[in-house]
Structure 1
Amino acid sequence: MDRLCYLSDFFEAIGTDPRISITHIGVYAALLQYRLQKGFTNPIQVFSHEIMSIAKLSSAITYHKCVKELSNYGYIRYEPSFNRTKGSKIYFTERSD
Structure 2
Amino acid sequence: MDNLKILTRFFKAIEDDFRIGTTHIAIFAALLQFRASKDYINPVLAYSIEIQSIAKVMSPKTYHRCMRDLDNYGYLVYVPTKNKNKRSSIYFHLE
TM-score (norm 2): 0.97
Matches of 1:48 and 1:2, distance apart in 2: 23
**Quick one: which amino acid aligns to residue 15 of structure 1?**
E
Matched with 2:6 is 6
**Quick one: which amino acid aligns to residue 67 of structure 1?**
M
Matched with 1:68 is 68
**Quick one: which amino acid aligns to residue 40 of structure 1?**
Y
Q: Report the CA distance between 1:76 and its aligned residue.
A: 0.4
Runs of 4+ with deviation above 2 angstroms: none
Matched with 2:55 is 55
Matched with 1:37 is 37
* Residue correspondences, number: 95
TM-score (norm 1): 0.95
Q: Where does structure 1 lack aligned partners over 5 or more consecutive residues?
A: none
Give RMSD over aligned pairs: 0.7
Q: Percent identity?
A: 51
Matches of 2:83 and 2:54, distance apart in 1: 22
Matches of 1:81 and 1:23, distance apart in 2: 21
